[in-house]
Structure 1
Amino acid sequence: MIARSTFSNGIVLCCRSDDDDSLLAVKCIDIDECPTSSLVLLQHEVALTRTISHENIHTYSSVWLSKSRLCMSSLFMDYGSCADIISSHFKHGLPEKIMALILYEILTALSYLRSVNLIHRGVRCSHILVSKNGEIKLSGHRNMIELSRDGIPVKKVHDFPKHDSSMLPWLSPEILQQDMQGYCTKSDIYSLGITACELANGYAPFTDMPSTQMLLEKLNGTIPFMLDETTVAPLIEDTSPSANADTEKFKSEMIEAAKSRKFSTAMHQLVTDCLERDPDMRMDADQLLKHPVFRQIKGLSKCQILQPVFEKMDPISKKASARVFQEQEEMMDELNRMSMCDVEWDFQE
């Protein structure tokens, strides 16, 4: 087992394929214990992802039932999610070139989803997966929705994802305000802007405030930003007491990290463009793919750009193998310590 699914009370296993010996991630969910609402979302996710195919979108290759367990296999992504990478070795954010690569790959995925009239509504670091080959894929499709009504394509939808409150900091103002204007695929671009700040700072904007305050900030057009030597001043000037010692320590470390780096003007502009309050003025994925910020990764291989990550982190498969080996060693030690004289045998019927 390599992970637990907090959404559906399932587990994720690392398995090896009998066909080509490749590694697979298999999510197993006990449908007898899974809430009906979660099962409906899983059914929706599986059905939609079976209709799409793109190199930057993570989908299930097989789905089957084993007794009461629903099992779903997919390509094994050796370095987990961007949230895993940040929390383990990049607590105050990733280098700009890595950010640029991740954002470009996810924009490519969003461009494809736009072409097939789908809104993802789940773009965030924990839903962006990285493989040892440098592949970057968008996952977490349970919130995905079609731009259609009764099978007829429409320009905007009005559905609100009530079941997933954890996504609120990443959702666009037009989704949150729930009015007659509705929203379109550009709402995913806003979420990408929040994700860019998360990649740069190590945490997502608005996650430290109550939902009501977050809603007001977004509706009033507050634009979050990446922290570096040019933007850190407000954080330094903020003398309000922190909730606890750990928060104060993180803030102090964040200030020092920001003072020691500088993001390019183009990267700052990309975030501003993504977080445009008015969706009609916000760029779409195809326009953003031509943004000047991506010139810095032109001609570079994905593995070359991701090398700082590969150098600091071990693949999940290596950790899993080490854990299995350790468990086997402990079992052998326990068996070696056992004495057959200590065992009581009873052959009576």
Structure 2
Amino acid sequence: MDTHFLDSLLNALPQPSLLIDASARISAANSAAQALFGHKVVGHHYTLALRQPGPLAAIEAALAEARETQAQHIHTGPSRETVYRMLVRPVAGDGRRAVLASFEDVSEAQQIGQFRRDFVANVSHELRTPLTSLLGFIETLRGPAKDDAQARERFLTVMAQEAERMNRLVRDLLHLSRVEAEERVRPTTQVDLASLLASVVRTLRPMADAAGATIVQHGEPGPALLPADADQLTQVFQNLIENAVKYGAAKGTVTVTLRQVSRDVGLRTEALAVDVRDEGEGIPAEHIPRLSERFYRVDSHRSRAEGGTGLGLAIVKHIVQRHRGRLVIASAPGKGSTFTVVLPTH
């Protein structure tokens, strides 16, 4: 076969591809494969390009038995590790035989699979603890505490708390699933953000009073219009303000500020920004990038004690993304925290 035609044919393939002849040498490689294995790979024995046992065994079997094989090839680059699914197929013609090895990047699929496994493991862990407590209390109430009225009342109170904890977790999982399902559909209804914030602050003021905290609202008196899902934004600011009250300093002040931004640097358009600031202990810098991950907690014991599920900020992040906005977190130990939601006005 004409060498120029063969090179053109291989370069038409979107995936890195190597043609390995019966003498076990690489007779052709497209530009994607040369970028992956080096520009001088053609003409060399395939073992010089592929040194991992799995790919070597797959090519050896395909050459010897003229059958399709596959293996996983891991390429370590300067910035990240890439996982490839290598397919080796026999080819023949004009009295010649060879195998074509193609490499499909499956890194993202593997990451998604790992993400799902981690998610299931996290949910299982979060449910296992209250379930274990409930089963233990039920066993005790059926046995040693069967006729102990005081113990029964105490255990039933704890059981109700654990059941409510599971209920919150299931509720937040459903919220997260719903938000993710709608994430690609941008809201179009005009909402007055100033009025919405005032309503959220009014709703949460009794909770803040009970905790000894004060919520202070500043900024635009209204109207401050933008396309939004009012229910979802209510959920965002309820979550952020509740967190500020729970994790802020005792008897501290939570400041909610609405401001206009003529041109946001990140969104590159006119926007409305809401800052929720507390006077708490602050968050160490290494935790900030991971705060919106599902089930990530800076202080697991305190978060669970406050009734947190570890999903609140993940829900906030996805709602903000649905609105084409961004969430910015600024904090330092001893200096409190500010959570800023920036939303485009059109």
> Which of structures 1 and 2 has the bigger CA Rg?
2
Q: TM-score, normalised by structure 1?
A: 0.24
Higher strand share: 2
Q: Which has the higher contact order (CA 8 A, sep 6+)?
A: 1
Q: TM-score, normalised by structure 2?
A: 0.24
